[in-house]
Amino acid sequence: MSEVTRTLQHVTAQLPGGGEARDGQVAMAEAVAKAITERRHLVVAAGTGTGKSLAYLVPAVLSGSKVVIATATKALQDQLATKDLPFLAEHLGAAFEFSVMKGRSNYLCRQRALEIALPGDQLALDAVDEAELGPLSRQVTRLLRWAVDSETGDRSELDFEPSPRAWAQVSVNAMECPGAARCPSGDVCFAEGARTRAEHADVVVVNTHLYGTHLASGGHVLPDHDVVIFDEAHELEDVAASSLGLELGAARFRALARNARNVVTDDPGLLADLESAGDRLESALVPWRGKRLPAGLGQELADVLSLAAERTSRVTAAIRQGDGEDPKRNRSMQAAGHLGGDLAFVAAMPPEFVAWVEGPAHAPVFRMAPVEVGALLADKLWGEVSAILTSATIPPLLPARLGMAAESVDELDVGSPFPYEENGLLYCAAHLPDPRAAGYEAALHAELETLIRAARGRTLALFTSWKAMQAAAEALGPKLPWRVLTQSDLPKPALIKAFTEDEASCLFATMGFWQGVDVPGESLSLVTIDKIPFPRPDEPLLQARRDRAGPAAFRLIDLPRAATLLAQGTGRLIRSGTDRGVVAILDARLAKANYRWDLVRVLPPMRRTRHIADVEAFLAAPAALPG
């Protein structure tokens, strides 16, 4: 027995309830250890219940390497930082340090707080009567008081949720911060403190967006490391595309003008012109909302961007004339430099990028991203570190799409220890009309009612659109004897808590609930999915990818994305070894389309049926019902 397996067995025996490491968990741990030792890459599909966190943490820590773990969701980041890593530190038998590092805007900026508190003695906070302040001032005052005693300045440690405007008063983003060396508060900076802790830690937990920012910066955000582990790796392609692109809207021009007012005092017209350029950009973007922009951007938009670049350059020159010791000047200089750089990048947009406009009519935003991330990741990442990519569902062809050379990567599927064939039933309502046909909605609602009654409530109904969710809730809520919760009722954590505690309740939700929902036990015995979740045909980035893929676009672009999301939604059902229930796909294409097996093959290996009577019998079985 290897050291990795022996240690993993020891650690898992310390878990509540004890037990042994599962076969799949051991296989994954050994593969991770081998990849790190041989400096190769590894892609691992680790089904629900594998225990993948310990399967990669144990070999990663034992390797003695500097490790960064990137997660796509805050929930997993918190699980690693507050549960898995502290548990491992206590029971591993080998000392190691870990830390969490977030983007700068997650930390209170001591310098901005000090500037708000001045002049005098930090606002004489003890003498402030919050009852005399407005809502914004009250929140800012609470934040300043909190900062006095906080050890980390991390927003997540607040005991209240400040408004975005209040938090903006006491924080900076990476495009504004001039760095510790050019800031009077650099030696006591919360963000720099997090960076220092990360420098000394053996394991650093970040989110995937921050890792993407690290790559976009040329490797200057995170500490040097030997190994990166991407958990929830099915998100990596889209997150990388977003991070390696840019976003440009009127808000950036207004923010720069606002922040520079105390620096550019002799020519306020410069700042007014800058804000006007932002307004003109906003107007030029409105007609393009939700659309992909042509390669040349269109003459009007190109002219507006050229004007914006010229005015940004003039403001930058004016800021540069200010006092080099003034922190406000340095922050403005940093923001102006980033804005000017982005405008120059847009003007020389490489052919491998695509541009489009998104956001509401009152605040449209210009977006630009690489059509394919593979070449960029091959250049910036895969040759620098040993990478472990893992998820419960690995999209087809993921290594190739991410630019990983076939000879440098190994792939492994360790399955799941859960008894899907005994405890799960996959039902496809093959008799329903095509989702695009008239009459589908009424038939869907009737089918849903039948299914929910068979499950006696206890249903998570997943929908591909907000409109479909609301229509179903309005149609079925009055008919069902059980409580019907919808995504619009409560924040996500409170909604899941209410659904879990009211055992017979139903939860109707959209895309945000297709993953990251963990409700084991009797509260969830039926998961329904209204349609195969194909991406929108007019989504600009995917349009560009389809153009490149040509006739193979459906199988290379749309089908893998739908399969991955369908597997994620299906995975909400069986969350423990004793869970039992039905997944109902209310889209007849899963039973009839020529691509159906591409979808079915990525789903958990449950028994399958097209007959509602089988579903009713399965849910009526004693093991499926409480008592």
- pLDDT, one tens digit per residue, over 368-418 is 999 999 999 999 999 999 999 999 999 888 999 999 999 999 999 999 999
- pLDDT, one tens digit per residue, over 12-62 is 999 887 778 889 999 999 999 999 999 999 999 999 889 999 999 999 999
CATH of domain 3-97+201-243+373-415: 3.40.50.300
Asked, colleague to colleague, whether 3-97+201-243+373-415 and 420-624 share their fold, the answer is yes
Q: What is residue 610's DSSP assignment?
A: S
What pLDDT score does 132 carry? 47
**CATH architecture of the domain covering 420-624:** 3-Layer(aba) Sandwich (3.40)
Task: Report how far residue 503's alpha carbon sits from residue 261's, in angstroms, rounded to the nearest whole number.
Answer: 57
Quote the tokens at residue 107.
């930390």
pLDDT band at 613 (very low <50, low <70, confident <90, very high): very high
Mean pLDDT along residues 485-510: 91
DSSP alpha helix (H) spans, 228-360: 236-243, 250-259, 268-285, 299-320, 327-347
What pLDDT score does 134 carry? 67
Say which CATH topology domain 249-363 has: Four Helix Bundle (Hemerythrin (Met), subunit A) (1.20.120)
pLDDT band at 516 (very low <50, low <70, confident <90, very high): confident
For the chain, the average pLDDT equals: 92
In this predicted structure, the answer to whether residue 121 has a pLDDT above a threshold of 50 is no
Pairing label, strands 424-428, 607-609: parallel
- pLDDT, one tens digit per residue, over 526-569 is 999 999 999 999 899 999 999 999 999 999 999 999 999 999 99
Mean pLDDT along residues 190-202: 96
In this predicted structure, the answer to whether residue 269 has a pLDDT above a threshold of 60 is yes
In this predicted structure, the answer to whether residue 430 has a pLDDT above a threshold of 90 is yes
Strand partners, 23: none
- pLDDT, one tens digit per residue, over 559-607 is 999 999 999 999 999 998 899 999 999 999 999 999 999 999 999 999 9
Mean pLDDT along residues 359-365: 93
What pLDDT score does 50 carry? 92
Could you tell me the residue ranges of all domains in the chain? 3-97+201-243+373-415, 104-185, 249-363, 420-624
Task: Report how far residue 58's alpha carbon sits from residue 81's, in angstroms, rounded to the nearest whole number.
Answer: 15
User: Angle between the 299-320 and 327-347 helix axes, to the nearest 10 degrees?
Assistant: 150
- Choice among 59-73, 93-107, 130-144, 241-255 with the minimum mean pLDDT: 130-144
- The CA angle 382-386-390, to the nearest 5 degrees, is 95
Task: Report how far residue 222's alpha carbon sits from residue 214's, in angstroms, rounded to the nearest whole number.
Answer: 6
Q: Is the pTM of this model over 0.85?
A: yes
In this predicted structure, the answer to whether residue 625 has a pLDDT above a threshold of 50 is no
